[in-house]
Amino acid sequence: MKLDITKDLLQTEIPTNKWLWKDSQPEVIRNQSVDVALPLNEEHTLVMQKLIDFVRYSQDGELNQKTNSDYLRPAVGLAAPQIGSNTNMFFVRFEWDEENGDVEEFAMINPKIIAQSEQITYLNGGEGCLSVDVDQHGIVPRSYKIQVTGYEWLTEQEVTLTLRGYQAIVFQHEIEHNHGKLYYDRINQKDPQLTEENWIMI
């Protein structure tokens, strides 16, 4: 995404690593988030705006260059606890093909998984997280298909989403942040590379 920080940011601050809370701060990262009232009040609106701005900025290769003193690890998604708010919200941005406008964004409020498949999937390279500075290597098993309900802030409507594969993995990762869980909680501690024959690798 090509951002113009003079007009495209939803709030007044340039996104920074200083916003991020880490797994060394369990009072927030390991805490259960609460649902929020709609429409969002001023405080919760600012949280959502920061989530959106952070992810969009982090994906902009021109603004967020590796030579920057405050380089942000590019994020597909970010949940409210990761910026210090135990509210049930997150933002994800899938940049499938930006040149052709193939981008999907979801700013989810009070999301809930209402159905999930028994089929298991996992990312070949494992998962990472902006709230985890030391990567934890291993297979992170998740449901291949999920159904999620919630309020989508960008389109201002209640939605029911059916997600598969990579999108389902990302949504589960962010939703679990709001339950105080991290991706490495799912890694088998005795055998981090454990998989089963019928699991789908992505």
Which residues are identified as catalytic?
174
Q: How far apart are CA 126 and CA 123, in angstroms?
A: 5
37, exposed or middle or buried, with CB in 10 Å at 0-12, 13-18, 19+? Answer: exposed
- 173 is known to lie in a ligand binding site: yes
- Tokens 């951002």 correspond to 3
Whether residue 177 is annotated as binding a ligand: the answer is yes
Q: Which two tokens stand for residue 62?
A: 């021109």
Tokens found for residue 187 = 């890694």
Q: Is 129 annotated as a binding residue?
A: yes
Spatial contact of 156 and 112, defined as CB atoms under 8 Å apart: no
Output the known binding site: 129, 173, 177
Output the known binding site for Fe cation: 129, 173, 177
